């Protein structure tokens, strides 16, 4: 039972699409729509550290709802960070502005892995409360808007844990999977279970879908993804199987789209590198796709961007259903008015 | 006429492979073999800035030859940097340790592009002298070793010029190509001509092959690469057509391998993301391939790395010819002894 049961009789455009039925209205939302591109976000977050703001329920709920109020998007996505379950488990991790997640003690050896994986999962109360507050507002709208929960895929979490900070090629993490497969398996299993708990808490509090972000999966060879990463992403997605639709997203993943789908996702997020028609050709026509406006085009003149968005929509017609989104997160310097215009364009069709 | 004419009667394993004939010995060299992974490099460069060291002929020649002496590789690659032709043209650019190339005044507007492209090419004397000195040593070896010249592809140079520093997604550069196609065309033409001059100087001084590095091409959509980038890479490669074999390399480029070949390259460099057999399937059996040992595996135990190298060699057998290399540059922290062992393994087969 959750607080969004009252929505079940009127499925939203988003949930129709996620379940494979093309709705009348093209649903649209934007990865990273909550947060850094909005002035109202910087106003409410003033004086609060990034991860701290994710753990204050009133604040995370407020930030989650801001883009829904402003843009009229078809979904909220919970404002949080993929490293939150690590922080809640007791890992020394912080978000450094201009850098990204920084880990106090990077996990480099089997002994480091043992110390880390001895940590049990953390208390998800703040997550449940934040989602619950947001869902209450979203359900109270004249047209209720579903909330998407999210979490980081085990490889992307492991890449941060092993490297200690964002890196280009994730060499240390990719070395560990070959140099010490047993330690790698323990690390990935632990990371998978932390994200699964994070997703379950969000679903329990009213999330109607979840998205698994494997931001760095595109750095992997097809073989490494298949053998040393996908099984752990499948572990996460199977933990929420049957509860809500599952979206799986990464960048630079054109070679592994079907492998990502086969971890247990009903919906595959596609970045800007290949056309949605080509993605559908690879995935087959029964997979739902999400994407893939090039974030770089958000800075182009409107007529150029409009042509691009229309091209994305046209290429998405070959899929069972399509949820319009970017191919990656909203860049921080984006003019939010441009996002509102894309929503209007999508809904006017 | 150049100083390496005396080699023409005894083609090396590298040059045989580059010309499409599989030599008896599998040729091997490593991207970034000259420089940061070698203690003898840090010793001779002590007190000299990175770009300055590229412009002192005795120093660049010495650094170019160090990995040939140490590892017994089948090629030298000239020690320089893709931004050297920009520096020689008068652009305020420096290499900041831990960051990469930083541009004093990033090129963001059409007026910025006009100011930049008014700069004529610079004086290539230091490049010619450095290559000439290296070639003299390499030709004097009991078994002469060819030198590969190199340069940056226009997109990668433009990405640095527009962003001002390394970036993950090259959003500003990718926005400019759509927002102001005319300015983009001027910028890319200028960058192509600077790299062409850089390559021609190296060939004139004795380089027996050239490699064009488009490090960031993998961030582009297939359409953008084809329409807004490839024509300028073709401009570079056509400037050296018929002079020496041309290698074209980038990372994350599995979707655009044939487009990169079709800019005029006899050899395509492949990163670690797809197997060489799959690359050959896409390129056809007449293309020569170079690659693609995963640099992450250099940090794994030798038995793991050895199995990986043997797998790479086996997958390369379907190509007309194969030059063994990494899928990207040697990581700075690499134990150079591991590289020597890979050369021994390749040559023992």
| A256-296 pLDDT per residue, tens | 999 999 999 999 999 999 999 999 999 998 999 999 999 99
Find residue A246's DSSP bridge partners: A210
**pLDDT for A104 beyond 50:** yes
Chain B partners within 8 Å of A301 (Cβ): 179
A299 and B175 within 8 Å at the Cβ level: the answer is yes
| A26-80 pLDDT per residue, tens | 999 999 999 999 999 999 999 999 999 999 999 999 999 999 999 999 999 999 9
Q: Give the A:B interface size as CB pairs under 8 Å.
A: 90
**pLDDT for B173 beyond 80:** yes
| B6-63 pLDDT per residue, tens | 444 467 999 999 999 999 999 999 999 999 999 999 999 999 999 999 999 999 999 9
Q: Per-residue confidence at B3, pLDDT binned at 50, 70, 90?
A: very low
The mean predicted confidence, pLDDT, of chain B is: 95
Closest Cβ opposite residue A304 in set B179, B272, B295: B179
Lowest-pLDDT choice from A163-172, B117-126, B134-143: A163-172
Helix (H, G, I), strand (E, B) or coil at A325: strand
Q: Which domains does chain A have, with CATH numbers?
A: 13-348 (3.20.20.210)
| A211-259 pLDDT per residue, tens | 999 999 999 999 999 999 999 999 999 999 999 999 999 999 999 999 9
A171 touches B: beta carbon within 8 Å:
yes
**Other CB atoms closer than 10 Å to residue B317's CB: what's the count?**
11
A220 and B273 within 8 Å at the Cβ level: the answer is yes
Residue of A nearest to B298 (CA): A175
| Percent of residues, chain B, with pLDDT higher than 90 | 94
Q: What is the predicted pLDDT for the residue at A1?
A: 40
Chain B partners within 8 Å of A308 (Cβ): 178
| B282-320 pLDDT per residue, tens | 999 899 999 999 999 999 999 999 999 999 999 999 999
Residue of A nearest to B254 (CA): A255
B222 touches A: beta carbon within 8 Å:
yes
Q: What is the predicted pLDDT for the residue at B15?
A: 98
Closest Cβ opposite residue B252 in set A178, A218, A297: A218
Q: Per-residue confidence at B219, pLDDT binned at 50, 70, 90?
A: very high
Q: What is the predicted pLDDT for the residue at A328?
A: 96
Two tokens at A200? Answer: 């379950």
A299 touches B: beta carbon within 8 Å:
yes
| Beta carbons of B343 and B71 less than 8 angstroms apart | yes
Rounded CA gap, A13 and A242, in Å? 20
Closest Cβ opposite residue B297 in set A168, A175, A331: A175
Q: What is the predicted pLDDT for the residue at B103?
A: 96
Q: What is the CA radius of gyration of chain A?
A: 19
Q: What is the predicted pLDDT for the residue at A2?
A: 45
Q: What is the pTM of this model?
A: 0.94
B261 touches A: beta carbon within 8 Å:
no
| A159-172 pLDDT per residue, tens | 999 999 988 899 99
Two tokens at B193? Answer: 């001509």
Q: What is the predicted pLDDT for the residue at B98?
A: 83
Rounded CA gap, A87 and A93, in Å? 6
Question: What single string gives the DSSP state of each residue in A335-347?
Answer: -HHHHHHHHHHHH
A178 touches B: beta carbon within 8 Å:
yes
Residue of A nearest to B292 (CA): A221
Rounded CA gap, A120 and B294, in Å? 34
């Amino acid at each position: 039972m959750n607080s969004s049961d009252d929505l079940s009789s009127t499925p939203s455009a988003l949930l129709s699409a996620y379940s494979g039925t093309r709705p009348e209205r093209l649903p649209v939302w934007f990865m990273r729509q909550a947060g850094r591109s909005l002035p109202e976000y910087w106003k409410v977050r003033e004086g609060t550290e990034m991860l701290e703001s994710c753990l204050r329920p009133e604040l995370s709920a407020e930030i989650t709802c801001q883009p829904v109020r402003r843009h009229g998007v078809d979904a909220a996505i919970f404002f949080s960070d993929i490293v939150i379950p690590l922080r809640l488990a007791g890992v020394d991790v912080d978000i450094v502005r201009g850098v990204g997640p920084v880990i106090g003690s990077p996990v480099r050896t089997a002994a480091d892995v043992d110390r880390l994986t001895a940590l049990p999962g953390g208390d998800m109360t703040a997550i449940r409360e934040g989602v619950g507050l947001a869902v209450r507002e979203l359900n109270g709208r004249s047209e209720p808007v579903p909330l998407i929960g999210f979490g980081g895929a085990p490889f992307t979490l492991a890449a941060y844990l092993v490297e200690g900070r964002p890196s280009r090629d994730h060499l240390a993490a990719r070395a560990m999977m070959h140099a010490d497969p047993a330690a790698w398996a323990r690390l990935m299993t632990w990371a998978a279970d932390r994200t699964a708990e994070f997703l379950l808490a969000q679903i329990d509090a009213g999330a109607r879908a979840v998205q698994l972000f494997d931001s760095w999966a595109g750095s992997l060879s097809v073989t490494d993804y298949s053998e040393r990463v996908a099984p752990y992403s499948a572990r996460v997605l199977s933990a929420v199987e049957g509860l809500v639709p599952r979206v799986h997203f990464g960048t630079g993943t054109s070679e592994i789209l079907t492998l990502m789908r086969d971890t247990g996702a009903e919906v595959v997020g596609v970045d800007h590198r290949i056309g949605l028609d080509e993605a559908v050709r690879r995935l087959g026509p029964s997979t739902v796709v999400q994407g893939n406006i090039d974030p770089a085009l958000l800075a182009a003149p409107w007529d150029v961007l409009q042509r691009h968005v229309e091209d994305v929509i046209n290429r998405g017609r070959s899929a069972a259903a399509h949820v319009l989104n970017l191919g990656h997160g909203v860049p921080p310097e984006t003019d939010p008015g441009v996002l509102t215009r894309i929503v209007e364009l999508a809904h006017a069709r």
